[in-house]
Amino acid sequence: MGKTLFDKIWEAHVVTEVEGGMQVIYIDRHLIHEVTSPQAFAGLEKRGLPVFRTEKTVATADHNVPTQNQHLPIQEKLSRFQVDKLTENCAKFGVELYGLGHPYQGIVHVIGPELGITQPGRTMVCGDSHTSTHGAFGAIAFGIGTSQVEQVFATQCLLQNKPKRMRITVDGTLQPGVVSKDIILYIISKLTASGGTGYFVEYAGSAIRSLSMEARMTICNMSIEMGARGGLIAPDETTFNYLRGREFAPKGDAFDQAVAYWQTLYTDEDASFDQEYVFNAADIEPMLTYGTNPGMGIKISEHIPTPDSADNPATFRKSLAYMGFEGGESLLNKPIDYVFIGSCTNSRIEDLRMVAEYVKGKQKAGNVNAMIVPGSQQVITQARAEGLDKVFIEAGFDFREPGCSACLGMNEDKIPKGAYCVSTSNRNFEGRQGPGARTILASPLMAAATAIAGKIVDVRNEQ
Amino acid sequence: MEKFNTIKSSAVPLPIEEVDTDQIIPARFLKATTREGFGDNLFRDWRYHSGDSAKEDFVLNNPIYAGEILVAGKNFGCGSSREHAAWALHDYGFRVVVSSFFADIFRSNAINNGLLPVQVSGEFLDKIFQAIEANPKAQFKVDLEAQTFSIVASGDTASFAIDPYKKMCMINGYDDIDYLLSIRDEIEEFEAKQLIP
């Protein structure tokens, strides 16, 4: 019986097993940020413990940082205190910190890959559910709670039940105007927000293989939105080429040796999965969400389902009432107030290039407030080098500095109550982008088209 | 962690599905650097108007309902991995959350904080909601050792699953670090053998 990609990596990291079946899993890399680490550091301090493997731990400040005037002290008192606490803890415990002002600072799931910290075959965790992003490299990566952050600090290990295995195959060719964000929104709309719970997902098929690393990250990033702990994609030449030369990737002979190992990381032909789904890429259209969880998504050509067709009509009605939508209506031509392009899902250089190419020479609609927040210092530096910043500013977009920003509204970047925001982020939960904010998830291309039109349009029909 | 064994209490009904952790504790309240005090902002935006006055129709503001047990619709705790959600529920006074389905990370965070997730069938969940509707003071009994959840008046009982190791930890008030530290030698042996770190 063959093994899945997931099995191969998991089994290579089992330290031991406890009675009842839970396993102790060794964690190769631990990423931390300011929001979910302070209580874990405090726990270590209380127990008088050091960080066991500081060289396998990397910190950045992202969730709580302002996206304007980052060279100045943080204005908001509680945010400043939390970011300062991270700096203090990292200094005290000897953890490398890419804080504000550092050329490597950025959203934790953007900097891991771009620095080459994320590598095939590794186990990676972070106190953040979108850690699943790193699975794009053929790594087992998943989000954990703060108690577990403390466990990894103390022992570089976690006690885990082995998840079940799911494979989602997407074969065929995407239509023009349809991008990787649409693939994952489509999958989640089919599986629902809980359809992946208990599973680790492998994404496979020709449509997935044809994607760039950054596009693959967008897919793995949102695995958690269907409840899966993580998602991963077998590494291939695209992966190796992306990693070659990155700061923390192996160099010279060591890189070749690593590639030889990475090439063994694939699912054997005769391996079996607990659950399989197969989708046709050609069936996917630009996708939008209409409700208050990422499973509530439709194709641009479709209409919002009616409450009577939902599993739980009461919950469905509550959701539509929050969004101010009616069952049966189309989202086309809905006026939009805000456009947010950013987050660990879609803030990388390819996302910015895609948006810049679309908005170049155009002007954003007067009714829309449009914000672009790059994922990292490296992304913003690259964007400036390519002149993308000028394109955005000339088109009337607000081009900000790196951070999580309006994806979760922890800093000042919030969407006002009742306002509609077409967002490239990952969650459309009630109040996610600010109390009362109404989020419609979409691809960077659809977000760009919305900003220009001032309303929801089908990007396939726009020039 | 505090020890958990049996609890007999009335329950608070929240018959909403897909309750995500952003609802349990919105991100703007995650700026604290300690574990205490999150209960004040539990379900903040469902519980209070923007001007901080209480929303009368939200269950936590209805004095008829009280107790250490929260009963909620399926896929409770989905979304963000923030452990603050478990801290907020515990800090508010809940010791048990009952649902027909829990998100993975929330389940693990809850158990690590002495908050017991009890997963029952959809049918049994409906029975619990009906029992509360018939009598808001209806009593429920949770027995972790026996892994049972009972509606006291009717005697209806459902069993629930929990990993045997995590059950032992909850009953004794242990956390995983104690165990992981005890196998440090094994961890170091593993590191020495690892081919590509």
Query: Cα separations (Å) of B69 from A94, A326, B150?
Result: 42, 35, 12
Asked if the ipTM is above 0.90, the reply is yes
pLDDT, average across residues A103-126: 98
pLDDT, position B197: 60
Top residue of B177, B178, B184, B186 to mutate, by most chain A CBs within 10 Å, is B177
> Distance (Å, rounded) from C-alpha A301 to C-alpha A46?
57
Report yes or no: A81 and B31 within 8 Å, Cβ to Cβ: yes
Chain-chain contact of B104 with A154 (C-beta, under 8 angstroms): no
pLDDT band at A420 (very low <50, low <70, confident <90, very high): very high
Reading the block at residue A262, the tokens are: 């990475």
Would the pLDDT of A318 be above 70?
yes
pLDDT of B51: 86
Given B34, B108, B184, which is nearest A39 (Cβ)? Answer: B34
Partner-chain contact A145 B80, CB within 8 Å = no
User: Chain B, 75-94: which have a CB under 8 Å from a chain A CB?
Assistant: 75, 78-84, 86
B17 touches chain A (CB under 8 A): yes
* Mean pLDDT along residues B146-152: 98
How far apart are the C-alpha atoms of A373 and A378, rounded to whole Å? 13
Segment 153-172 of chain B within 8 Å of chain A by CB: 163-166
Task: Return the structure tokens found at A351.
Answer: 């996302």
DSSP E strand boundaries for chain B: 6-9, 11-14, 69-72, 96-99, 116-119, 140-143, 148-151, 157-159
Q: How far apart are CA A15 and CA A151, in angstroms?
A: 15
Q: Which of B55, B147, B180 to mutate to test the interface with A (most CBs of A within 10 A)?
A: B180
Q: Is B30 on the interface with A (CB under 8 A)?
A: yes
pLDDT of A371 > 70? The answer is yes
Query: Residues B181-186: what's their mean pLDDT?
Result: 96
pLDDT, one tens digit per residue, over B27-44 is 999 999 999 999 999 999
Greater pLDDT, A263 or B50: A263
DSSP code of A106? B
| Rounded distance between C-alpha atoms, residue A173 and residue A208, angstroms | 10
- Give B164 to chain A, closest Cα distance, Å: 5
Q: What is the mean pLDDT of residues A20-49?
A: 97
Going by C-alpha positions, the residue among A29, A27, A154, A142 that lies closest to residue B175 is A154
**Cβ of residue B18 closer than 8 Å to a chain A Cβ:** yes
Q: Is B127 on the interface with A (CB under 8 A)?
A: no
Nearest to A430 among B35, B45, B108 (CB): B45
Nearest CA in chain B to A292: B18
Answer yes or no: do B112 and A258 touch at CB < 8 A: no
Per-residue pLDDT reduced to its tens digit, A162-200: 999 999 999 999 999 999 999 999 999 999 999 999 999
Share of chain A above pLDDT 70, in %: 100
How confident is residue B87, by pLDDT bands cut at 50, 70 and 90?
very high
Q: How confident is the model at residue B195 (pLDDT cuts 50, 70, 90)?
A: confident
pLDDT at A52 over 80: yes
The phi, psi pair for A440, rounded to 5°, reads: -120, 115
Beta strands in B52-146 (DSSP E): 69-72, 96-99, 116-119, 140-143
Structure token digits, residue A148: 């577990």
pLDDT tens, position by position, A320-354: 999 999 999 999 999 999 999 999 999 999 999 99
**Binding-face residues of B in 91-110 toward A, CB within 8 A:** 101, 103-105, 108-109
CB burial string A166-195: b at 16+ within 10 A, e below: bbbbbeeebeebbbbbbbbbbbbbebbbbb
Cβ pair B180:A193 closer than 8 A: no
Q: Pick from B80, B83, B194: which is nearest to A147 by CB?
A: B83
Cβ neighbours of A427 in B, within 8 Å: 20, 22, 79-80
**Helix-helix angle A377-385:A349-359, to 10 degrees:** 40
Q: Which residue of chain A is at minimal alpha-carbon distance from B20?
A: A429
B158-178 average pLDDT score? 95
Nearest CA in chain B to A257: B196
CA distance A262 to chain B (A): 10
Residues of chain A found within 8 Å of residue B197, distances taken between Cβ atoms: 28, 56
Express each pLDDT in A428-437 by its tens digit.
999 999 999 9
**Which tokens belong to A370?**
């449009």
Whole-angstrom distance, CA of residue A185 vs CA of residue A443:
9
What DSSP line would sit under A185-240, residue for residue? HHHHHHH-TTTTTTEEEEEESHHHHTS-HHHHHHHHHGGGGGT-SEEE----HHHH
B41 contacts chain A (CB < 8 A): no
Per CB-CB distance under 8 Å, the chain B contacts of A43 are 177
Taking the mean position of all CA atoms in its chain, how far away is CA B19?
12
Q: Which percentage of chain B shows pLDDT scores above 90? A: 95
Quick check: A338 and A398 in contact, CB under 8 A? no
Q: What percent of chain A has pLDDT over 90?
A: 99
Q: Is the pLDDT of residue B196 over 80?
A: no
